[in-house]
Amino acid sequence: MRSHEEQRQQNISQESSRQKAAVKPSGYAGAPSSSSAQVAPSSRKDQNDLLEKMLEGENLRLAYKRVVQNGGAPGVDGVTVAELQAYLKTHWDTAKAELLAGTYRPAPVKRVEIPKPGGGVRLLGIPTVMDRLLQQALLQVMNPIFDAHFSWYSYGFRQGKRAHDAVKQAQAHIRSGLRWVVDLDLEKFFDRVNHDMLMARVARKVTDKRVLKLIRSYLNAGVMVEGVCQKTEEGTPQGGPLSPLLANILLDDLDKELTRRGLRFVRYADDCNIFVASKRAGERVMESVIHFVEGKLKLKVNRDKSAVDRPWKRKFLGFSFLSNKQATVRLAPKTISRFKEKIRELTNRSRTMSMEERISGLNRYLMGWIGYFRLASAKNHCESFDQWIRRRLRMCLWKQWKRVRTRIRELRALGVPEWACFVMANSRRGAWEMSRNINNALPTSYWEAKGLKSLLSRYLELC
């Protein structure tokens, strides 16, 4: 499953008519597109039958399609996404009856550790595919109830709002003269959510007690670690479709408090930046906001990682800014170092694979990376990255040509003069040093013919 940093909610529109009772999900293969329906209760009174709306056939078909599109690993029961349809045929009637009776019990989530780029691990909780389906169906009927009341400056996991929009809003705040930032780091936010605090806020707008009980049961489902189920008395595990909405519901109180104080801010999930005019103002804001977050929301602020600083000295969603009047968006230094670390991994000469496989893996990463970071002013970076990547590949190729006679044969085939073939093939220099020397034999056109995609070319296309 995806982590909270890159999950997106489905764009779902108003459903034309609502069925009176829950129906069995069927015909998933012909499910409509994810933008074709949305259940939007018109009033608090209407929400007493929210569970029935969650279980309507059209809503379930949309949820099923989304779960299948997202894919992901199986949960503790081992049922895969590919097996979900067959699983529903034998288990759905029982699950539906338990849901309507209020006796349904979600399975514990499976603990998965994802390495963080900067070290440490991010803990994900992977629900079973059945629970992912139910959470997605619940998300689709709950989201319209809450989203309309969220702050304009909240961008994470919201329909029609993207990480790029959050960065542009931060840029607008800086351009307006607010050239100091209070960078707030919530320590292990998803692991520290207070269940009672969260449920009290959900209950402000959801009156169907069966739905409230179901949400509580997901929070208390437990985590399976090495075959042992551990209780979960706090936190909302990353990995389930419902967790991002629950996070926004809780942090909406922070948004409203910042708005009440007249502060300019941008929040993307638990990543919150508040923009002020001076360092002194920032220090005052930092202390008062920490008091609110820890006192009112029962969350923990990481004081070591939080700071009052210039925006161009901080990182926000992988980006930073230049200190000019336009606050030009740039790549954060950590983003560059992580990019290079990944490229080194993909071009590690000790990894045994064909050049075609290596280039294929590189292309997938490069096109995804530039698709996100195209927002930054990065033309020069892309050009230098392209040159560096080609040199890394030349190094890999030289490493593959282990024997002198192999090097002579390959260089000769590339049109290198005979004398140069013998000189280079017998060189005692390492593969990295030789990668510069064989540049003329393996120019850009060679790698283009091999299928290597250019960051610079793609960047210019997108921009």
Task: In whole angstroms, give the CA distance from residue 418 to residue 456.
Answer: 34
Task: Find out whether 162 and 110 touch, Cβ atoms under 8 Å.
Answer: no
Of 365 and 39, the one with more pLDDT: 365
pLDDT band at 28 (very low <50, low <70, confident <90, very high): very low
pLDDT band at 114 (very low <50, low <70, confident <90, very high): confident
For the chain, what's the residue count? 463
Statement: residue 86 has pLDDT above 60 = yes
pLDDT band at 39 (very low <50, low <70, confident <90, very high): very low
Statement: residue 119 has pLDDT above 70 = no
For the chain, the first-to-last Cα distance in angstroms comes to 30
pLDDT band at 350 (very low <50, low <70, confident <90, very high): confident
- Candidates 260, 224, 221; CA nearest to 131 is 221
Statement: residue 6 has pLDDT above 70 = no
Greatest mean pLDDT among 68-72, 347-351, 381-385, 442-446: 381-385
What number is the average pLDDT over the span 30-38?
Answer: 35
Q: 364: Cβ–Cβ under 8 A, 6 or more apart, which residues?
A: none
Greatest mean pLDDT among 8-22, 50-64, 405-419, 433-447: 50-64
pLDDT of residue 45: 52
pLDDT of residue 239: 86
Query: To 10 degrees, what angle do helices 243-260 and 279-296 make?
Result: 130
pLDDT of residue 434: 86
Q: In this predicted model, what pLDDT tens digit does every residue of 373-424 receive, in sequence order?
A: 999 999 999 999 999 999 999 999 988 888 999 999 988 998 889 998 888 8
Q: In this predicted model, what pLDDT tens digit does every residue of 250-259 receive, in sequence order?
A: 999 999 999 9
Task: Find out whether 315 and 219 touch, Cβ atoms under 8 Å.
Answer: no
pLDDT band at 294 (very low <50, low <70, confident <90, very high): very high
What pTM does this model have? 0.84
pLDDT of residue 433: 84
Task: In whole angstroms, give the CA distance from residue 13 to residue 90.
Answer: 31
- Continuous H helices in 102-158: 129-147
Task: Find out whether 320 and 311 touch, Cβ atoms under 8 Å.
Answer: yes
Which H/E stretch holds residue 265? Answer: strand 264-268
Q: How many CA atoms lie within 13 A of 63 on its CB side?
A: 29
Q: In this predicted model, what pLDDT tens digit does every residue of 143-189 receive, in sequence order?
A: 999 999 999 999 999 999 999 999 999 999 999 999 999 999 999 99
pLDDT of residue 436: 82
